[in-house]
Each structure stands twice: as C-alpha cells, then as structure tokens.
C-alpha cells in the first residue's frame, strides 16, 4: 500500500515536470536567464545616474570629438564640395578650430579649469552661429546682414530633411561643446566645495 502511494506520487511529480511550461520553476536555467535580463533592464531605467556618471567621466572626450567632427565637416564642405564660406562661417571657424587642440591638451593634462579658457570661445562661436541661423531662416531681416561683400550669409548649400543647414550644424556643434564644458565646470566646482 505505502509502496503504491510512493510510486503514485513519483509519477505525479514526473508528470508535472514534463507538462510544466517553459520558464516555470521546473526550468531553472530559463528562469535564471529571464531574471538576469530583467535585472539588466531595471538597472538601466531605475539607475539612470549610473549612465550619467559614465557620460560625465567622458564629457571632455565628447566635446573633443564634436570639435573634430565640426572641423572636418567644415573643411569637407569648403575644400571638397567647393562650398565657399561666408564671413560668419569664417568667424565660427576661428572659434571652433582651436578647440580641437585646447580640449585635447586639457584632457591629457586633466585640467579641471579647462572651461575657463575654452568656454569663452564656445560662447562667442555659439552667439555667431545663432545670429547666422536667425539670418538664414529669415527670423531677422536681411537689412542687418553683415555679409555685404562676397558670399551671402544666407546662401543655401544644403538642406537635409528640409531644415538641417550648415548654420544649424554649426549651432548644434557649439551647443554640444558648451553643454559639455558647463557640466565640467559644475563638476569642478562641486569637487572644490567638497574639499573645503
């Protein structure tokens, strides 16, 4: 009698094991994998500060890469595609090109005061780029255009997707670099306050 009951329970357990759906407690490997993927998913969305810390540690590299892309892009437009730069384009180049070297040197030296001598260049270039965009998109009247001689500041060379232009690309580049330097500034000021 007892032997029959034990055999019946064993058969019932075996039946449950064979009919259990995939991913149930009977399949620990699949369950472990699902939990691992779930933890990774929650880690990314519940702990965004971790991702921000990674970005923050590379903030100067991001600014440096952006300055390189902007510099190479401007030379590509003018020297390869033959788009002659206007006066405002030259002013923006004057502000952008030195940043390639200044950001690289500041990163190598781990200079926490890098923003003090790069941010003024970025802000000047940002304001010129903003003025250029306002002229190009006819938000400002053409009567105040500074490009009286040579290439017009509103010459249409490219218009990707109907609105992405060379002035907008320049404005975006200065905005990205400026944001990176402001983050670096806040980080340096926080470190200084903690030391005190």
Q: How far apart are the first and last CA of the chain?
A: 81
pTM tops 0.85, yes or no: no
- 152-196 pLDDT, tens digit per residue, is 888 888 888 888 999 999 999 999 999 999 999 988 888 777 776
Average pLDDT, rounded, for the chain: 79
| Least confident residue range of 22-26, 62-66, 68-72, 102-106 | 22-26
Distance CA 193, CA 91 (A): 37
Q: Which two tokens stand for residue 181?
A: 């330097």
* pLDDT above 70: residue 83: yes
Distance CA 193, CA 82 (A): 51
Q: Which two tokens stand for residue 82?
A: 């033959």
CATH class of 58-195: mainly alpha
* pLDDT above 60: residue 80: yes
- Cβ atoms of 66 and 177 within 8 Å: the answer is yes
User: Quick one: average pLDDT of 15-29?
Assistant: 44
pLDDT band (50, 70, 90) for residue 13? very low
- Nearest of 158, 151, 142, 67 to residue 104 by alpha carbon: 67
What lies within 8 Å, CB to CB, of 112 at 6+ separation is 184, 188, 191
- Cβ atoms of 122 and 42 within 8 Å: the answer is no
User: Quick one: average pLDDT of 104-109?
Assistant: 94
Query: In this predicted structure, what is the pLDDT of residue 41?
Result: 53
- 42-59 pLDDT, tens digit per residue, is 555 555 565 666 666 789
Percent of the chain, pLDDT > 70? 69
- Among the residues of 20-47, which ranges form H helices? 28-46
Torsion of CA 184, 188, 194, 196, to 10 degrees: -160
Query: In this predicted structure, what is the pLDDT of residue 16?
Result: 42
* Residue 165: strand, helix, or coil: coil
CB burial of residue 128 (10 Å; 0-12, 13-18, 19+):
buried
- Cβ atoms of 135 and 154 within 8 Å: the answer is yes
Extents of the domains making up the chain: 22-56, 58-195
* Residue 58: strand, helix, or coil: coil
- 112-164 pLDDT, tens digit per residue, is 899 999 999 999 999 999 999 999 998 888 777 777 677 888 888 888 888 89
């Amino acid at each position: 009698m007892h032997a029959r009951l034990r055999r019946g329970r064993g058969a019932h357990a075996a039946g449950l094991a064979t009919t259990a759906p995939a991913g149930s407690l009977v399949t620990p490997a699949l369950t472990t994998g699902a939990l691992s993927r779930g933890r990774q998913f929650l880690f990314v969305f519940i702990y965004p500060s971790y991702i921000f810390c990674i970005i923050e540690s590379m903030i100067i590299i991001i600014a440096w890469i952006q300055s390189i892309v902007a510099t190479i892009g401007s030379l590509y437009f003018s020297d390869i595609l033959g788009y002659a730069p206007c006066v405002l384009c030259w002013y923006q180049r004057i502000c952008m090109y030195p940043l390639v070297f200044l950001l690289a040197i500041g990163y190598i030296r781990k200079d926490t005061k890098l923003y003090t001598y790069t941010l003024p260049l970025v802000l000047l270039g940002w304001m010129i780029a903003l003025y250029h965009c306002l002229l190009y998109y006819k938000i400002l009247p053409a009567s105040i255009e500074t490009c009286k001689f040579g290439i017009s500041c509103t010459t249409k060379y490219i218009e990707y997707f109907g609105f992405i232009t060379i002035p907008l690309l320049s404005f975006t580049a200065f905005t990205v670099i400026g944001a990176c330097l402001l983050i670096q500034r806040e980080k340096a000021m926080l470190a200084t306050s903690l030391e005190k």
